[in-house]
Amino acid sequence: MAIVFGAIYFTVQETVINNLDNELSYEAEKHAGEIEIIGDSLKFENKAEWEEREHREIQVNPVFIQLLDKKGRLMDKSPNLKEEYLLFKNSEYGGHFDAELSKRAIRQVQLPIEQNGKIKGYILAATTSESAQSVILKLRNVLALSFLIVLSGLYFISRFLAGRSIKPVQTVTNTITKITKLNLKDRVALPQNKDEIYELSLGFNDLLARIEDAIERERQFTSDASHELRTPLATLRGTLEVLIRKPRTQAEYEEKIKFSLSEITRMTTTLEQLLLLARLDTKTSIKENNFVDLPTIIDESLSYFKSQIAEKGLNIHFVFDQKNELLVPYYYTNLIINNILINAIKYSKKDSNLKISVEEIDNHVTCTILDEGLGIKEEDLKRIYDNFFRSDAMEHKQISGNGLGLSIVKKCADAIEAKINISSVLGKGTCVTITF
């Protein structure tokens, strides 16, 4: 604003002064043609006619003319100067400048008078500049006052607009202040205009939703884990309390100790799986770049579970493409295969078939494991990855497990961007397809 208003002021000032200077130059050149030069003397021609014309005309801004010789001595002057004299600058070309006449501001020009290439004297022309200075002064005052008024207006308008624009930010701040771990369901109200604040509020709401989901899963996980560990501990305590109530036979002691050891094993397995899940939930989980042939991993798992396979009398049908290398990340794939195979073995019917196939489809390694077991209810398929969830638990109560296996499988698959598809028919079996 200061630059714009300053540009206006100086532009108008220069224009007014230039117009005044042009008028003075015109008058000086016009009267220069009416000068008579006699030796070193200068005087006006027809001065009597000039004086008579001056008395007949009404002049608002009269022009004063003065003649000087080359040494600056007065030769002649216009009648309207009377006893006054114009200021002489001791230079060949004085140009335009401001001066005073009878304590009144004037604008003056000084031009040399030449004859045959030699300076014979000078002609001075002047006119009052009070009106021009008055216009410039009024313009300055108007611009200064306008600057203050407009600046004040812009300040309050900007303050108002800034207040309105920052209101959504204040809303976000107030919402953040109110949100605690106990009321994560609160959300920031989205602004009507889809601007940067809208994107900020939307992103914050998404963050709150993720945090709420994570905390809810943590609460559920803690509740399930404590329940899962509390039950074997209570069983173990009850067994030992019954055992010490009275003397027992050697066989009874061995039976109760074996039962207690099985409960301890169950708790140990649960804790190991909980720790594994905790590692997989963090960004610092183990990631190995070691790639191994998938049939090799499956062979290792089958060897590890050979006693369970023999106990069930399962017939293993393992088919894979022997021409190509079917490479997959070892660490996560080993966890996936182990958990899926143990589930297939545990829930398979005795003397049934367990089919495993590995092939390369569209540059992806695909593994399919099909069992002829108890199967999963259709409505339970969407919950099979939940921690501690076991489908149809009443029928499976005789089968050991804690419902963490498929949770581990899902997290491992997400870590290596593998896809898992599980389909099942209750009473007929389950088919698991893993695409690496």
Write down the H helix ranges in 244-281: 250-281
Give residue 30's pLDDT: 86
Return the biggest CA–CA distance within the chain: 160
pLDDT less than 70: residues of the chain: 47-60, 92, 181-182, 217, 220-221, 224-225, 227-228, 231, 273-274, 277-289, 387-403
Q: At CA 344, angle to CA 347 and CA 273, rounded to 5?
A: 95
Q: Per CATH, the architecture of 196-281 is what?
A: Orthogonal Bundle (1.10)
- Cα–Cα nearest to 90, from 64, 71, 107, 118: 71
Indicate the CATH number for domain 2-137: 3.30.450
Q: Are 355 and 409 in contact (CB under 8 A)?
A: no
Tell me if domain 2-137 and domain 196-281 are identical in fold. no
> pLDDT tens digits, residue range 234-259?
878 888 888 888 888 888 888 888 88
Give residue 284's pLDDT: 43
Give residue 249's pLDDT: 85
Domain ranges of the chain: 2-137, 196-281, 291-435
Cα–Cα distance, 253 to 259 (Å, whole number): 10
> pLDDT tens digits, residue range 299-345?
988 888 888 888 889 899 999 877 777 888 887 888 888 888 988 88
- Cα–Cα nearest to 413, from 432, 427, 426, 396: 432
Give residue 379's pLDDT: 79
DSSP 193: S
- Cα–Cα nearest to 1, from 141, 136, 150, 155: 150
Topology adopted by domain 291-435: Heat Shock Protein 90 (3.30.565)
Give residue 283's pLDDT: 47
Q: Is the pTM of this model over 0.75?
A: no
Question: Concatenated DSSP letters for 309-362?
Answer: HHHHT-EEEEEE-SSS--EEEHHHHHHHHHHHHHHHHHHBPTT-EEEEEEEEET
Cα–Cα distance, 371 to 375 (Å, whole number): 9
